Amino acid sequence: MATVRFQLRRDTAANWTSVNPVLGPGEPALETDTLLVKYGDGSTGWNDLPYAALNLPSILAAYAAGDVPSDFTLSIVDSPSETQWRNAIGAQEASANLDAISAAVPIADGPHTIGGITITTAGGIITAIS
């Protein structure tokens, strides 16, 4: 059986920006220093093309399945644009409020009245509010 080797056009972000090539329709190209990809449309220069969106569900599914993360997926986690990645997956930055929640101790099961509101818990889960 013949071996097929698929290779993307690749260069550094600075070189892509300075040359500003027009990629063919659907042609992918990789920034080797950021590991970000853009796809051409046949008429737009590199500098005006958006970066490709990642398929985060498939990446997260791979983690859940126990696959060892690749250098590419690790670069997403450690990316200097962590705010963009956090926003893309709907996560928020750590804060004092989140730290406080993580340190919370579950209350005992049963009804708990606070300020005229009764909250009933069972197994650490709120089952009723009245």
Q: Quick one: pLDDT band at residue 72, thresholds 50, 70, 90?
A: very low
> What token pair was written down for 81?
């644009």
Q: Would you give the end-to-end CA distance of the chain in angstroms?
A: 70
Which helix (H) or strand (E) is 77 found in, with range?
A: helix 71-77
The per-residue pLDDT for range 9-62, each reduced to its tens digit, is 999 999 999 999 999 988 888 888 887 888 899 999 999 999 887 654 566 666
Task: Give the percent of the chain with pLDDT over 90.
Answer: 19
Residues 95-112 pLDDT 10s: 666 666 666 666 788 888
| Predicted confidence (pLDDT) at residue 92 exceeds the cutoff of 90 | no
Residue type, 34: T
* pTM over cut 0.95: no
Q: Which residues contact 23 (CB under 8 A, 6 or more apart)?
A: 9, 29, 38, 39, 40, 41, 42, 46, 49
The pLDDT tens digits of the residues spanning 1-12 come to 677 777 789 999
Closest of 85, 86, 106 to residue 94, by C-alpha: 86
Measured in degrees and rounded to the nearest 5, phi and psi for residue 84 equal: -65, -45
> Across-strand partners of 16?
none
Question: What distance in Å separates the CA atoms of residue 85 and residue 34, rounded to the nearest whole number?
Answer: 14
Radius of gyration of the chain from Cα atoms? 24
